[in-house]
Amino acid sequence: MAKIFSFLNHIILPLLIIITISLPTSISQLQEPTNTPNGVCNGVVIQYNYDTGYQIPPTLLPGAPDKQPYRFESTLTVLNAGFEELKNWKVFVGFQHNEYLYSASEAVLDDGTSLPGNVSQGAVFSGSPVTDLKTSVETAGDLNQMMARVELVGTQFGVAPPNAPLPSNLSLANDGYLCSGSNMPQGVNLTQVCCIRDLNARSNITTEQESPLQSGDISIMYDVTSAYETNYWAQVTISNENPISRLDYWKLTWEWMREEFIYQMKGTYPTVLDTKECFFGAQGEYYKDLDFSIAVTCERRPTIIDLPPDRTNDTKLGMIPFCCRNGSLLPPTLDPTRSKSAFVMQVYKMKPDLNRTQIYPPMNWKINGTSGPEYQCGQPVRVSSSFFPNPQGLSSDVSAVASWQIVCNISQAQTPQKKPNCCVSFSSFFNDSVVPCNTCACGCNLNPSNMCNATAPALLLPPDALLVPFDNRTKKAIEFSKLKHRHLPNPLPCGDNCGVSINWHLLSDFEDGWTARITLFNWGDTSIADWSAAVELDKAMPGFEAVYSFNGTIIPDSNNTLFLYGHPGLNYLVAETEARKPRKDPPIPGSQQSVILFTKKKTPGINVPRGDGFPSKVYFNGEECSLPTRLPISFTHRLSAASASITILLSLFVLMAVLQ
């Protein structure tokens, strides 16, 4: 019986798929695709079949039928019935029954999430280890090379047998395809679609065997530099390609899918040296003569960190270009030579991959730092082999054996708990009130003993209040509110609780141009090296002329973002320090400031005081800062050119005095 079932499952079912998607003609008799479910599909056929399922504990019936869990087993089939090879296939499955996926054979989640995992919002699957689907023409109709078959096992909620928990839709996630014909169930347990080339889409088809390199916020290259029967050496290069974001103390993880383990590393190290899985696992049984006591790690999902700079010239751990930078990846706009990290490692393989040509990169990559945005990484994609400088110093380059690229982008779905680390205050020459950072801009301690109002708007401040910590502003804020006859809430608003604050001050506005002054404050106890800031001005940036005390450049391919960073020797934002008389005077924040000049010749109609002179977004070290919800706006107050020049000169004089 088992042999009969295996025959039906592996031979008859694929043939039924061909019959389902075509009329009496065979697949080799290709015709124009149609949009009907029973027509011929001369493209990519995606089929989702619900195989079986049953109720699992806990039992919530009949009280809560929508919350009752059920096991489901389904099959996702991807068949290339077109003229073009489908490289790095990706399929979106629109799960709609709060599915929790336990396993997926021959595929992984494209966002790098490991299984088991929640897929209730839908999921994109990509092939692993087989990523490309060939055509019937080049394989003489060999289904093993044309088709991917993914067995899915998981839990769904609320759909009791014999009803089938089918997805809401299926689609091919590769660029340049349109799917149609059947996003509706074709039977009790089956739904399928036909996806064909979009003739109006820009084609990314290449005649090369590998895919072209893709761009992203972070690009990771996995280059195999030498290969042997049982092991290979790989170089991993992490490149920060985002012009304003940075990573500090990066941590890199991936998942070995074929029982590989790391025997040696140079340029980096795992957070945990653990080889017991090899000692007591299949690796130890096969490599009986290998000394696992000196192996680096046998973890299925290791966590890799960078080495400190003092290991750069270490002959055992260092001596790798771009290594040993303490996990810092600066923006390429700031310093392109420090926007990369690299390391090498020796990887041992297991059966059935004991062949020098059988090499598979690890999957499910993730990278994050101690601060900065969250990143989401795709799965490795085979690309053209990288080239490296000849180690013997010759002019010829050396090609990698094989190369894969992993592209990571800043996640747009930030967690609700993640708060900014910086905030912005607004002020202007025509208003004596400063709009401070928002209440609880970087989070609040909501402990009942914290006697402050976490929802009340921040009190407007006199300008000198920006120079002292929040705890020392209370007296100034109360006196200023009473002077202006403003309402004082009880209790008073909580502070912003930000380690870094930035003040944007409109310094002048005259007929031909205007100026702003930006001041950075460090309220923390740690100095910030190689700081950078970015300011988005939606209407004013075409008129940018100069920055006087910082380096300033408009971001390439952007017409509204100004990138700022310190001159050599002034790239440290020092920590908060005690005053000379700490019992009497408040602590002093580390600060740096500069005047920025704009012309109005290229921005006709700009209204600086009414909002065009204030940024729509501000970033510090790549992280977006909290902006005030109010502006210190005014209808009048325009200076003459002479008055504006005097204002700028006075500001520069003050800056020079501070620097001295």
Whether residues 406 and 426 share a domain: the answer is no
For the cut 50, the answer to whether the pLDDT of residue 547 exceeds it is yes
Per-residue pLDDT, 633 = 78
Flag whether 322 is in a domain: yes
For the cut 50, the answer to whether the pLDDT of residue 656 exceeds it is no
Task: Yes or no: say if 510 and 644 are a contact pair by the CB < 8 Å rule.
Answer: yes
- Which residue in 233, 231, 89, 252 sits closest to 174, CA to CA? 89
Question: For position 473, which CATH number holds?
Answer: 2.60.40.290
Whether residues 389 and 465 share a domain: the answer is no
Whether residues 433 and 361 share a domain: the answer is no
**Separation CA 530–CA 413 (nearest Å):** 28
Q: pLDDT band for position 390 (50/70/90)?
A: confident
Q: pLDDT band for position 185 (50/70/90)?
A: low
**Separation CA 192–CA 503 (nearest Å):** 56
Report how many domains make up the chain: 3
Predicted confidence (pLDDT) per residue in 105-129, tens digit:
999 999 888 899 999 999 999 999 8
For the cut 70, the answer to whether the pLDDT of residue 323 exceeds it is yes
Whether residues 137 and 242 share a domain: the answer is no
Flag whether 505 is in a domain: yes
Per-residue pLDDT, 209 = 58
Residues 6+ apart with CB under 8 A from 542: 559, 602, 603
Quote the mean pLDDT of the chain: 86
**Separation CA 249–CA 331 (nearest Å):** 14
In this structure, what token pair is assigned to residue 615? Answer: 């940024």
Whether residues 188 and 249 share a domain: the answer is no
Q: pLDDT band for position 201 (50/70/90)?
A: low
Per-residue pLDDT, 451 = 81
Per-residue pLDDT, 99 = 96
Whether residues 223 and 190 share a domain: the answer is no
Q: pLDDT band for position 446 (50/70/90)?
A: low
Task: Yes or no: say if 219 and 241 are a contact pair by the CB < 8 Å rule.
Answer: yes
For the cut 80, the answer to whether the pLDDT of residue 598 exceeds it is yes
For the cut 60, the answer to whether the pLDDT of residue 561 exceeds it is yes
Among 410, 430, 455, where does a domain finish?
410
Sign of CA dihedral 237, 353, 401, 129: negative
According to DSSP, the β-strands at 107-109 and 123-127 are antiparallel
Flag whether 184 is in a domain: yes
Task: Yes or no: say if 590 and 577 are a contact pair by the CB < 8 Å rule.
Answer: yes
For the cut 70, the answer to whether the pLDDT of residue 180 exceeds it is yes
Flag whether 207 is in a domain: no
Among 356, 377, 410, where does a domain finish?
410
Of the two residues 449 and 570, the one the predictor is more confident about is 570
According to DSSP, the β-strands at 617-620 and 532-536 are antiparallel
C-alpha 497 chain-centroid distance: 26
Residues 6+ apart with CB under 8 A from 82: 42, 43, 44, 135, 196, 197
Bridge partners of residue 622, in order along the sequence = none
- Which residue in 659, 645, 533, 549 sits closest to 596, CA to CA? 549
Flag whether 603 is in a domain: yes
Q: Which domain holds residue 246?
A: 218-410
Predicted confidence (pLDDT) per residue in 64-89, tens digit:
999 999 999 999 999 999 999 999 99
Whether residues 53 and 154 share a domain: the answer is yes
485 sits in the region (left: phi over 0; alpha: psi -120 to 50; else beta) called left
Lowest mean pLDDT among 363-367, 435-439, 532-536, 553-557: 553-557
Per-residue pLDDT, 215 = 92
pTM: 0.80
Flag whether 643 is in a domain: no
Predicted confidence (pLDDT) per residue in 398-427, tens digit:
999 999 999 999 987 655 567 899 999 999
According to DSSP, the β-strands at 590-599 and 513-522 are antiparallel
Among 164, 197, 230, where does a domain finish?
197
Flag whether 484 is in a domain: yes
**Separation CA 173–CA 126 (nearest Å):** 9
**Separation CA 359–CA 509 (nearest Å):** 63
SS3 211: strand
For the cut 90, the answer to whether the pLDDT of residue 34 exceeds it is no
Whether residues 487 and 367 share a domain: the answer is no
Lowest mean pLDDT among 336-340, 568-572, 599-603: 568-572
Whether residues 403 and 444 share a domain: the answer is no
Flag whether 17 is in a domain: no
Of the two residues 645 and 361, the one the predictor is more confident about is 361
Whether residues 605 and 485 share a domain: the answer is yes
Q: For residues 42-68, b (16+ Cβ closer than 10 Å) or e, as one string? A: bbbbbbbbbeebeeeeeeeeeeeeeeb
Please count the residues of the chain. 660
How many other C-beta atoms lie within 10 A of the C-beta of residue 30? Answer: 18
How many other C-beta atoms lie within 10 A of the C-beta of residue 590? Answer: 20
What 8-state DSSP symbol labels residue 101? E
Of the two residues 111 and 37, the one the predictor is more confident about is 111
Residues 6+ apart with CB under 8 A from 200: none
Whether residues 604 and 514 share a domain: the answer is yes
Whether residues 476 and 582 share a domain: the answer is yes
Per-residue pLDDT, 582 = 83
Q: pLDDT band for position 23 (50/70/90)?
A: very low
Beta strands in 453-547 (DSSP E): 500-509, 513-522, 528-529, 532-536, 544-547
- Angle among Cα 155, 415, 272 to the nearest 5 degrees reads 80
Lowest mean pLDDT among 114-118, 377-381, 554-558, 637-641: 637-641
Q: pLDDT band for position 581 (50/70/90)?
A: confident
**Separation CA 629–CA 568 (nearest Å):** 35
Bridge partners of residue 235, in order along the sequence = 223, 344
**Separation CA 180–CA 182 (nearest Å):** 6
**Separation CA 644–CA 66 (nearest Å):** 68
User: Mind spelling out the 3-state secondary structure of 558-577?
Assistant: CCCEEEEECCCCCCEECCCE
Task: Yes or no: say if 243 and 556 are a contact pair by the CB < 8 Å rule.
Answer: yes
Instruction: Please give the single-letter amino acid code of residue 623.
Output: E
Per-residue pLDDT, 395 = 78
**Separation CA 408–CA 406 (nearest Å):** 7
Lowest mean pLDDT among 29-33, 195-199, 538-542, 598-602: 29-33
